[in-house]
């Protein structure tokens, strides 16, 4: 078997290097049910080429995975998605997208380890999935914000109605987003960082 020598393997691209001004790095997880847009969000906002672990969907998922609203989806994340974004010259966020299919949820605990906060992406066509997702974060003590990802065929509800339906505490931010758009995804992350800052200032962030 032939192996390439190290001098023939391309190194990281210039834009993949961590900014030299970076002083702090924060781990953020992006969670949600199957097909809610986690991979899309990481890809749209990451300043480096995102690492994905998508595999072609197989017969193994039939009768097991709930793909309602995502019937045309042909690939799914089986381990994680990874990206990076510099919020300021000093602050860098490492983004970890979790697998959405329930049979891969056992991987979540490892991805939650060391996370300062989380984004819960929801699809209004399948709100019921969100309760398990938020419950897992609450069990782990991971603060989170809720982002309502817009789908063309998804029903629209006022934000406060969704807050009530999801039984969210008044202090937990909930916002609308389009995970395909970098600016929208960045706004979600900024909302999370402001929320984490407010928790830290109040002494609620441990």
Give 176-193 pLDDT, tens digit per residue.
999 999 999 999 999 999
Please count the structural domains in the chain: 1
Cα three-residue angle 89-93-96, rounded to 5 degrees = 160
Nearest-angstrom CA–CA distance, 187 and 127:
22
137 within some domain:
yes
189 within some domain:
yes
Domain that holds residue 83: 20-202
5 within some domain:
no
Taking 90 as the threshold, does the pLDDT of residue 24 lie above it? Answer: no
pLDDT score for 73: 44
How do residues 124-168 score in pLDDT, each as one tens digit?
999 998 998 999 999 999 999 999 999 988 899 999 999 999 999
123 within some domain:
yes
Q: What CATH number is attached to the domain comprising 176?
A: 3.40.50.300
Read off the pLDDT of each residue in 48-59 and give the average, rounded to a whole number: 68
158 within some domain:
yes
pLDDT score for 67: 52
176 within some domain:
yes
2 within some domain:
no
**Among candidate residues 199, 203, 205, 124, the one with its CA nearest the CA of residue 166:** 124
Nearest-angstrom CA–CA distance, 195 and 11:
37
How do residues 55-64 score in pLDDT, each as one tens digit?
544 544 444 4
Q: How far is CA 89 from CA 20, 128, 152, in A?
A: 9, 39, 36
pLDDT score for 55: 54
92 within some domain:
yes
Helices (H), 122-167: 128-140, 159-166
pLDDT score for 189: 98
pLDDT grade, residue 66 (50/70/90)?
low
The dihedral formed by the CA atoms of 58, 62, 64 and 66, expressed in degrees to the nearest 10: 100
pLDDT grade, residue 4 (50/70/90)?
very low
């Amino acid at each position: 078997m032939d192996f390439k020598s190290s001098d023939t393997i391309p190194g990281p691209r210039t834009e993949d290097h961590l900014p030299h001004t970076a002083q702090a790095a924060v781990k953020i997880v992006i969670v949600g049910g199957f097909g809610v847009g986690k991979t899309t969000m990481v890809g749209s906002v990451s300043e480096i080429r995102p690492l994905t672990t998508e595999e072609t969907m197989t017969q193994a998922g039939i009768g097991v995975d709930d793909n309602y609203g995502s019937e045309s989806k042909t690939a799914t994340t089986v381990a994680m998605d990874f990206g990076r974004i510099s919020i300021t010259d000093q602050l860098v966020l490492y983004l970890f997208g979790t697998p959405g299919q329930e049979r891969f949820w056992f991987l979540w605990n490892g991805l939650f380890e060391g996370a300062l906060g989380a984004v819960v992406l929801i699809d209004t066509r399948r709100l019921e999935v969100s309760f398990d997702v938020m419950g897992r974060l609450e069990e782990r003590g991971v603060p989170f914000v809720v982002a309502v990802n817009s789908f063309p065929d998804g029903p629209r509800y006022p934000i406060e109605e969704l807050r009530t339906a999801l039984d969210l505490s008044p202090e937990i931010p909930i916002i609308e987003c389009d995970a395909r758009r970098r600016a929208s995804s960045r706004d979600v992350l900024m909302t999370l960082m402001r929320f984490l800052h407010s928790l830290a200032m109040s002494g609620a962030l441990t």
